[in-house]
Structure 1
Amino acid sequence: MREHRKVLTIGGDHSIALGSVDGHIQAKNGEICLLWVDAHADLNTADTSDTGHMHGMPVSLLVKELADYWPYLPGLDWQKPTMSIKNLAYIGLRSVDHYERLIIEKYGVSAYGMEDIEKYGIHAVTTLALERINPTGTKSLHVSFDIDALDTLEAPCTGTSVRGGMTLREGVHIMEIAHRTGWLGAVDMVEINPRLGNILQVKTTLEAATHIIKAAFGFSRSGHVPQHIEKLPGYYAPILIEDKIVKREEPVAVPPLLKES
């Protein structure tokens, strides 16, 4: 990351983002913004969580505004909450606990749920979220993508799926926009669990994750012009010599596909 290369982390439950985001913060001296794409806010503390599951708490451990709500945690001495909650935005929310909603409202977190996507469209929502958390374009962007942000039909093999989520197309477009900003420094792809489905469901989930990851690294659905190629490969058309069909030694001449500028 210090060499300006993108980092991809694949998991695993969403608690792994505690390490990947913290590492990003350290590598960029705190100058990062975080786009959390998820059905859930993952903003509970140990006292507000109904389940006690760590994968529902990583965001609250990362932001400095909630540091006083956490006791000392043995084994997490390395992790210091230094990111401002103002540098956080959500996309895809549709299962938010009461205390999580309270925190979102109290601190004015940029949080876009499925109703916002339905009303404004994924392009507008993503663009607005990124403008809110990085208005000057000077911060490094971390996108932490939980596969359950997608609808269950798009990604069935995940542990806490919620119906009514995004389409794969919408998930891919988020990453396309993130890539085009030029800010993207790190990506998490999490909560993929192949043990939770049949062969077809596993294939569907893995294909969805693959498409999203490829978009983050610049793959274009409209295709790419190959570099250093000016014309299409020539066709070695056969010719007739003395009543025998003979293959040409040279391809049929074709004009350049691209003119020199």
Structure 2
Amino acid sequence: MATVSLIGAPTDVGASVRGAGMGPDALRVAGLAAALQAQGFDVIDRGNLAGPPNPWQQPAQGVRHLPEVVAWNRAVFEAVSTALAMNHVPLLMGGDHCLAIGSISAVARQCRQERKNLRVIWLDAHTDVNTETISPSGNIHGMPVACLLGHGPADLVGWSGERAAIDAGSLDFIGIRSVDADERQAIKQMGLQVFDMRHIDEHGMRNTMTEVLQDVDEDTHIHVSFDLDCLDPMEAPGVGTGVRGGPTYREMQLCMEMIADTGRLGSLDVVEINPALDVRNRTAELAVEFIQSLFGASTLVR
């Protein structure tokens, strides 16, 4: 069985609401390591990365806290790169979603070295395709996809060895239901594949995931970037930017199980858990259940 490296990044530096920095320890309290060990995985908890505190300043040139975001993402990039070089599965415990810049950039670089096809599955209520020129808030947790596609601030692009860590064809969004006006145009211009909640309502999660996974093969590395606000806030209240109308518990379980069935999961982000807004750590406990399914837990032997 694979070895899973747990990497904590306790920061809300890219967010607008305090509290996501407590996410890694919430996942630990919810029993993440023990749950994966019970499935037969070796689990190494690398502890929490260190980085600058959140200064809670106003945006400068369209972005908030750019130096701090760069520092945290550099730490994430190095930690994920180290785990991949050891042939471990890096599981990044956020922290806010800006951290996916460092995580996915490291994965993209490794995939290029190994000549694997990278597929990123972005589970989120939001597309995070804002840039410093169109973002209403300047919060970088709304910009990681743009940065990974090579359209963000200069300090946050090019880390994988190419300006764009990923291309539009390697990215699938699931659960989207909140998109800023200028983001809609950016999504159209970039040709991004978005399976929004209307698509899931009309076609169901099974057909949606069949579309997402149809061309995954033995040369594919799947990276899942899981923002807990993908779920409806009635299910997962402990998030900073909850949006009504997300996938149900069973729909998300099916999503995770179908990804697991491919056998190609290679890395994972779990972000935006905010214990300050949660109810008795319910959201972190829910995240652990979904992570178990993503790593192959199922009701029956299949």
Matched, 1:149 2:230: yes
Task: Report the structure number with the largest CA radius of gyration.
Answer: 1
1:93-242 aligned within 5 A: 93-131=176-214, 134=215, 138-197=219-278, 201-220=279-298, 222-224=299-301
| Separation in structure 2 between the aligned mates of residue 48 and residue 172 of structure 1, nearest angstrom | 34
Match of 2:147 among 49, 61, 73: 61
C-alpha offsets along residues 59-107 of structure 1, whole Å, 9 cap, x if unaligned?
000014x3xxx4433x877464231111111000000112221122223
So what's the TM-score if we normalise by structure 2? 0.66
DSSP-derived class of the 1:8 partner: strand
1:18-37 aligned within 5 A: 18-29=101-112, 31-37=117-123
| Separation in structure 2 between the aligned mates of residue 71 and residue 26 of structure 1, nearest angstrom | 19
| Separation in structure 2 between the aligned mates of residue 218 and residue 71 of structure 1, nearest angstrom | 37
DSSP-derived class of the 2:281 partner: helix
| Separation in structure 1 between the aligned mates of residue 257 and residue 87 of structure 2, nearest angstrom | 19
| Separation in structure 1 between the aligned mates of residue 154 and residue 282 of structure 2, nearest angstrom | 41
C-alpha offsets along residues 187-246 of structure 1, whole Å, 9 cap, x if unaligned?
11110010113xxx24321221011111111111x1459xxxxxxxxxxxxxxxxxxxxx
| Separation in structure 2 between the aligned mates of residue 3 and residue 219 of structure 1, nearest angstrom | 24
**Is the 2:148–2:157 contact (alpha carbons within 8 Å) kept by the matching residues of 1?**
no
| Separation in structure 2 between the aligned mates of residue 143 and residue 90 of structure 1, nearest angstrom | 10
**Is the 1:156–1:202 contact (alpha carbons within 8 Å) kept by the matching residues of 2?**
no
CA-CA distance at 1:139 after TM superposition: 2.2
Question: What is the one-letter code of the residue matched to 2:222?
Answer: L
| Separation in structure 2 between the aligned mates of residue 71 and residue 149 of structure 1, nearest angstrom | 26
| Separation in structure 2 between the aligned mates of residue 10 and residue 203 of structure 1, nearest angstrom | 15
CA RMSD of aligned residues (A): 2.1
**Is the 1:37–1:149 contact (alpha carbons within 8 Å) kept by the matching residues of 2?**
yes
Greater helix proportion: 2
| Residue segments in structure 2 that go unaligned for 5+ positions in a row | 1-83
| Residue segments in structure 1 that go unaligned for 5+ positions in a row | 226-261
Number of residue pairs the alignment of both structures matches: 214
CA-CA distance at 1:180 after TM superposition: 1.0
**Residue 76 and residue 138 in structure 1: after superposition, are their counterparts in 2 closer, same or farther (change >3 A)?**
closer
**Is the 1:159–1:191 contact (alpha carbons within 8 Å) kept by the matching residues of 2?**
yes
**Is the 1:37–1:143 contact (alpha carbons within 8 Å) kept by the matching residues of 2?**
yes
| Separation in structure 1 between the aligned mates of residue 92 and residue 250 of structure 2, nearest angstrom | 21
**Residue 82 and residue 205 in structure 1: after superposition, are their counterparts in 2 closer, same or farther (change >3 A)?**
closer
Matched, 1:81 2:155: no
**Is the 1:2–1:28 contact (alpha carbons within 8 Å) kept by the matching residues of 2?**
no
**Is the 1:146–1:191 contact (alpha carbons within 8 Å) kept by the matching residues of 2?**
yes
The 4+ residue runs of structure 1 with deviation greater than 3 A are 2-5, 75-80, 134-137
| Separation in structure 2 between the aligned mates of residue 6 and residue 166 of structure 1, nearest angstrom | 26
Quick one: percent identity of the two aligned structures?
Answer: 38
Matched, 1:12 2:95: yes
So what's the TM-score if we normalise by structure 1? 0.76
